[in-house]
Each structure stands twice: as structure tokens, then as C-alpha cells.
Structure 1
Amino acid sequence: MRVTDPVIQSLLDNDLYKFTMMQTILHQNPEAQAEYAFKCRNKPEIPLSGLRAEIEAQLDHLCSLRFSEDELAYLGGLRFIKSDFIDFLRLFQLQRRFIEVSVPEDKPEELAIRVKGPMLHCMLFEIYVLAIVNEVYFRQFPSEPSWAEGEVRLAAKLDRLKAFASGPERRNPFVFFDFGTRRRYSRVWHEEVVATLAREAASLMRGTSNVLLAKRYGLTPIGTMAHEYLQAFQAFGSRLRDFQRNALEHWVHEYRGDLGIALTDVVGTDAFLRDFDLYFCKLFDGLRHDSGDPFVWGEKALAHYHKLRIDPASKMFVFSDGLDMEGAFALYHHFADRVRTGFGIGTSLSNDCGKEPLQIVMKLVRCNYQPVAKVSDSPGKGMCEDANFLNYLRDVFEIEQQ
């Protein structure tokens, strides 16, 4: 089946943290093997299984793409990207044999997608797969009403942003970023949103996680690490109890002060903060929230810094869990005079067009042939395919059942 309108037209159409994690794997664990699994957390309006043929064709096209010299020059111009990684990407091509799409026999309306192979050659699939599934799904509905509704809602967001920006000054400015690649309505709509915000709200929008759009619109590419990076260290040879410290130590070794925002919820914030001692507090610029009550999380993080006699005003909190503008404004009002804040807003920017978005993820489930887990601070956001390993992990980190 030939694709007439490819969803992914450039390998740079991906989130920055996929490249930063990939570089770390190339340098420190190039032999790692990995397995990723797709999951849809809500019930789609039409069965995803009916989209299998088109998704397969889109993946065929995806695996024909290569990085252009212009794209590599842009990536290589980021000061934390190393020249040997660019040399690797010059030869890189996604391999179709590492990804399989099927329909489960016991769940005929669902879609199973698994990626399995060398981690270095598999980890880029995640964002592309999610963007493909989303766009193929939304192409099943009339586009004109959705686009028109999206324009109305985007205009309302701009009006609200301008009104908010005219309010009283706080100790730290309000800034937000586009984090919308993985669950966008479409590639074209995502670009329209980013281009509009970059033009109309430039003082507030400080960047995008999408590297292609950052390049195209002169924005700062935003991103550090995702759950898969820390999860992988559950299988990288250290004691399980030490995996978070090991992951953070390797990150510091790789980036030497760049990309200093640490993700806190792979095994829950409480367990993370027990490992995030004075050493790491001084080495990292701040923390990212991605599950659980963000106000409770922020207060815990502030208390942790105070306990270690570190001024939180020198740090940054990045909030990225299902945010919309009003949620970001509320968090800003709560924390802005005590710590620098940034807000990664995804689906409510890139897929607010009237149709219910798909709640889809693609997570690392095995590494080096061993199970790995994400526990999270929110019920339903965790993921692990081995109950025995999950129970052991909970016991090691003293995590209560949710």
C-alpha cells in the first residue's frame, strides 16, 4: 500500500529528548536491547484495529527516511550534541523489522504495536508511531469542522495569554513551551499552532520540543530526558536500589551541565527525592513534574531544597502533565515568587479541535531482556508487563499500592 500523504516527512519531526537520550545510549550503553509497547488509555470513537493497513503503510514510508545534511547541520549546531553522534545519524535508518503491528485475538477492536531490537535503533520510533496513529485516526473524520474549531480555540488562547501577560509582574516571568508532537491532531495543524504562537506570543512561548519546528521557526528546542532513560537503568547492571542515582550520574557525565532538568516520577516523587541528594541538587538546574498533584509535588520539591539549604529561586520547575493554559496560570500564580517555572503544554495546544484526543503512549517494557517499570504518581499512568518485578520494585523503593 502506497502512502500518498506521509504523516512523517522528516526524521527531525521528533522531540528533542529522543535525540539527547539516544546520544547517551550511543556513548554509554550502545549494546543495550529494548522492547517498547503501545497502549491506548481511553476508548476511541472508532476502533484502532481498522486503521492497521494505513498505519503499516505509514511505517513503511517512515523506514525509508534518512536525515538530510541540512538537518544534521542544525542538530550538530546544538552545543550539547557531539560530532560522533551526528556521524552515526548520517548513517542511521529506522529498520522495519524492529516494529510489528497486530490486532490482539482477544481484543479485536484494539491495536498492538511493539518495537523490539537494539535500543539505539528502536528508541526513535516512539514519537513517530504516536504521531502516525493520531493523524491516521483523525483523518477518518471531516477535517474542515475540526480545523475551524481549532482556529477559534487557538484565538481564544491567544486572547487569554495576552490578558494574562498584562497582569501584575511577579518575581519570575511566565513562560511556556509546545510539547504537542506525540498527540497532535495532524502535522499541518501542529505547525499552524506553533507558527501562530511564535508570531503572536513570542515573549511567552520560549520554545518547542519538536526539533523540526524549532529549526523552521527559529525557536529553542526544549527537552532533556524521558521515563525510558531512567527505566533502562533498572537493567543496566547496578543494584536496582541504585538505578536512579546511576542514571543521573551518567546524565551528568554526558552533558556536563547542559540539559539539567531531572524527571522525578519513574518510581514516584518520594522515592526520587530520597535519591536526589545535595550532590544532585547542586548539579541539576531543576525538576520536571509529569504525574500526581502538581501543587503537592511542587511543595515537596521546595521543602526538599530548603532542607538541603539550597535556595529554590536558583532552580526551575517544569510542569508537563496534561496541562492546559488555565492550569499553567494557576501553577504560575502559586509558585512564581518562589521558583522559576516553565510549562510544557501538549495536547491542549496541538489537539484542541473539538474531537476527544487519543490517550496513547508507547513505553519501554523490557531492557536487556529484563522487565522494567514506570510506577508514576498517578494511578493509570504506570506501565509494567511483569507483576513480580513490579512488586519487587515497589518493595525496594517502599512504594505503596495505588
Structure 2
Amino acid sequence: MIIDSLLDTDLYKFSMMQVVLHQYPAAQVEYRFKCRNPGIDLVPYIEEIRAELAALCQLRFAADELDYLRGWRFIKSDFVDFLGLFQLNEKYVEIAPAAAGNGEIEIRIRGPWLHTILFEVPLLAIINEVYFRHTSADLDLAEGRRRLRAKIALLRDTPDYAGCKIADYGTRRRYSRTWQREVVTELRDGLGAQLAGTSNVWLARQLNLTPLGTLAHEYLQAHQALGPRLRDSQVAALEAWAKEYRGDLGIALSDVYGLEAFLRDFDMYFCKLFDGTRHDSGDPFAWGDKVLAHYRANRVDPRSKVLVFSDGLDVPKVMQLYAYFRDRCLLAFGVGTNLTNDVGPTPLQIVIKMIRCNGQPVAKLSDSAGKNMCEDAAYVTYLRQVFQIPATQGL
């Protein structure tokens, strides 16, 4: 059994789920799976993935896990009470070979947002582990350990980088659950205070680390169908978040419609209200310069705000960004696949993205190519018009 605790997921799933319970309990959504690696044949593993999914859907939150969640300052008691009754239901998940017969698999998750939001991260972790246990069963992890220790030494031992901290964001694309635990344990023991924490709630509890995360793209995408009108959906999402958390968990995600559209909505009110912003697509250096200039233009001292970088990072890239932005703002770095799946074989680039909410298509058009998964081309065209997004962005 790959997943044996419902805590084995990323923190932002719980923080978003609480908003859904309190503000959008009737919302209906659809998610779709995609593997971005060409030529990967996942069809032989469908039955094993289904068996692991069935086991996942037997899990319930244990009393001590609920007590752990109840101890977080931003979690409300009624949400923990709801989780005490919660159980995933496999009837919401369909897994089948793709109609094209090319080795790809179709996974669709359809149902109430409140009851499907926790599928994404553990299901991706299951697909990864099933795939790698078959394709690299005899892998010697000595090379992975060598690479990991070299990364730790580089960050820890380079002069003038003591203030540079990283966090583990690698649950969704990890080589295995056991390997992620070993990686994060090594990071904790090797980096000390330079490890800010982990996005994985189960590991944070097991290793006495800080769980990290706020919100994901699906939260802002859903507001395309939940907000008062499409043009106001980004503002509505940020305001709903502020209503729920009252200044806590204050990192805004900037790339659902691209940075320029985000900055048009992220006015002085939001600049002052939110603690910072997160980068997840496009050139991180150009992004950071524009965000810091935006803070200054809105009479906010950038040195009081956090820039969070989380897009395809490795330790050398983290260090470059730290050197470029240090002393200009506060900094945080989330490193994912390069920490938890750098053992030799090529990692899978797999995602599960929301594509519909309340029967309406939803999409993101980020600052990087190839990240849009919307199935309705007419809607994407309309979205570009509403948010003044260039025709080439996100393709």
C-alpha cells in the first residue's frame, strides 16, 4: 500500500479545502490527468493503480492526526470535525487506456469539489511509485544519495548563503514515499535551519518540520465559474481567501492569467494585505523585478514582502535567485522533483488539473508554454479577450 495516511498530501490541499467547505460546499468540478513525457506507456499499470486507489479510499483520518490538524492556528474546528467524517470515494475517479491506443491513460475525476479535492496529490504519488517500481525495480539508490548530499553541501558550505533556505515541494512527483522521507530527513539533518520545511503534511508531522503551502491554481481557476463575472474572478478569489484566513496564509499565486493580468488586479489593497506572491511560470528574474517594482509603485516597501519561487528549481538555480534578490525582499524557495526524484531515471512530468467547475470550462494561461489543459478552445479565446492576454501566452 503506497499511501497509508490521508495526511500524505500537500498542505495547500487542506487550506483550499477549508475554503471550499465554508464558501463553496455545493461546487461541482472535473479534473484531468496528463503525462507530459512523450512515449511513456502507463497502460500496463492501470489495474495496479486502481488497486492502490481503492486502498486510498479505505483510509480515514485517525484521532491523533485530527488532533495534529486541530493544533494549526489557521484551521477551524468545524473543518477538523468534517475531516473526522471524511472518506474519499473511488466512484468519482475513472481510469482507462486512452482512446488513441498510444500507451497514455485517461484519468478523470468528477464530483463535488469538497469530496474530490484530496485526490490529486496522492493519486499522482501512486502513479509515480507504481511506474518506477516496475521500470527501475533494481535501482541502486547510491547515486541518488550522492546527488542529494552534493546539493546539501553546495547550499550549506558556500560562503554567504547561510540565509538561503529551501523547502521540499516534491510529493506529487516523488520516486517513492520511502525515498521522499529519506530525502527530507537528510535535508533536515544536513541543512538544519536552511530547511524551511516541507509541503507534505505527513512528513512534517513525522519529522517535526513546518508544513508549508497556501493555495494552488485550481482555487483561482474555479472562481472563473464561482465569481460574480469572469473579469472579476481573480479579485473574487483573493477576497474569498482573505475572508477565510484574515491575513494568515498570505501568499498570492500570480500566474493563472499571467503576471501582467495579475498585477492589474493586485492593487494597493492586496499589496498591503498579502504577505507576498508565488512564482510558478516564466522567467523568475524578470518576474521578481516586475513584482518588486509593482510594490514600490503601490507605496509598499518590497523588503517587507516575500517572493516565493517554486517553478522547476534546483539548488544552483535557488542560489542564483537568492544572490540576485537578497536584501531587496524576503525570499522563499520550494524545490520539488529535483529533490525527490533525482535518482537516475527520467522523472515523470505528470499533472492533474481542474478543467471544469459547475459545468463550465476553466483554464489557466500562465507565463510558460504548454501548461494549459482546457478542452474548450472557444473558452480559451474568450478568456484571453477578457484578461487581455496575448495570443501566444501559455501555448
Question: Aligned pairs, how many?
Answer: 392
Q: Which amino acid aligns with 1:376?
A: S
Among 5, 11, 31, the alignment partner of 1:36 is 31
Distance in 2 separating the partners of 1:391 and 1:200: 49
Q: Which amino acid aligns with 1:26?
A: L
Measured after TM superposition, the shift of residue 146 of structure 1 is 4.3
Pairs within 5 Å for 1:159-198? 159-164=153-158, 167-168=159-160, 173-198=163-188
Distance in 1 separating the partners of 2:190 and 2:160: 20
Measured after TM superposition, the shift of residue 107 of structure 1 is 3.4
Among 383, 387, 395, the alignment partner of 1:397 is 387
1:301-327 per-position Cα deviation (integer Å, ceiling 9, x unaligned)? 011011111100000000000000001
Measured after TM superposition, the shift of residue 15 of structure 1 is 0.1
1:131-178 per-position Cα deviation (integer Å, ceiling 9, x unaligned)? 0110001001344534121111111112112222xx1369xx211110
Corresponding residue for residue 6 of structure 2: 11
Distance in 1 separating the partners of 2:316 and 2:297: 31
Contact 1:33-1:118 at 8 Å conserved across structures? yes
Q: Which amino acid aligns with 1:346?
A: G
1:19-54 per-position Cα deviation (integer Å, ceiling 9, x unaligned)? 00000000000000000000011125x511111011
CA 1:40–1:142 in 2, change beyond 3 Å: closer, same or farther? Answer: closer
Contact 1:289-1:318 at 8 Å conserved across structures? yes
Measured after TM superposition, the shift of residue 196 of structure 1 is 1.0
Distance in 1 separating the partners of 2:50 and 2:303: 49
Corresponding residue for residue 248 of structure 2: 258
Corresponding residue for residue 75 of structure 1: 69
Q: What runs of 5+ residues in structure 2 fail to find an aligned partner? A: none
1:154 aligns with 2:137: no
Measured after TM superposition, the shift of residue 213 of structure 1 is 0.4
3-state DSSP of counterpart to 1:145: coil
Among 208, 228, 238, the alignment partner of 1:238 is 228
Corresponding residue for residue 78 of structure 2: 84
Distance in 2 separating the partners of 1:76 and 1:162: 34
TM-score by length of structure 2 reads 0.98
Q: Percent identity?
A: 58
Contact 1:289-1:321 at 8 Å conserved across structures? yes
Among 22, 39, 53, the alignment partner of 1:59 is 53
CA RMSD of aligned residues (A): 1.1
1:25 aligns with 2:20: yes
Distance in 1 separating the partners of 2:260 and 2:227: 23
Corresponding residue for residue 99 of structure 2: 105
Distance in 2 separating the partners of 1:321 and 1:196: 22
3-state DSSP of counterpart to 1:80: coil
3-state DSSP of counterpart to 1:390: helix
1:35-93 per-position Cα deviation (integer Å, ceiling 9, x unaligned)? 0000011125x511111011011101010000101111111100000000001000000
Contact 1:146-1:354 at 8 Å conserved across structures? no
3-state DSSP of counterpart to 1:222: coil
Compare 304-313 and 154-163 and name the one that shifted more.
Answer: 154-163
CA 1:327–1:15 in 2, change beyond 3 Å: closer, same or farther? Answer: same
Corresponding residue for residue 3 of structure 1: none
Q: Which amino acid aligns with 1:24?
A: V
1:331-356 per-position Cα deviation (integer Å, ceiling 9, x unaligned)? 00000110111100000000000110
Corresponding residue for residue 330 of structure 2: 340
Distance in 2 separating the partners of 1:101 and 1:145: 28
Distance in 2 separating the partners of 1:142 and 1:129: 20
Contact 1:176-1:206 at 8 Å conserved across structures? yes
Distance in 1 separating the partners of 2:99 and 2:38: 18
1:248 aligns with 2:238: yes
Q: Which amino acid aligns with 1:277?
A: D
Q: Which amino acid aligns with 1:157?
A: K
Distance in 2 separating the partners of 1:237 and 1:397: 15
1:365 aligns with 2:355: yes
Distance in 2 separating the partners of 1:352 and 1:386: 35
Q: Which amino acid aligns with 1:22?
A: M
TM-score by length of structure 1 reads 0.96
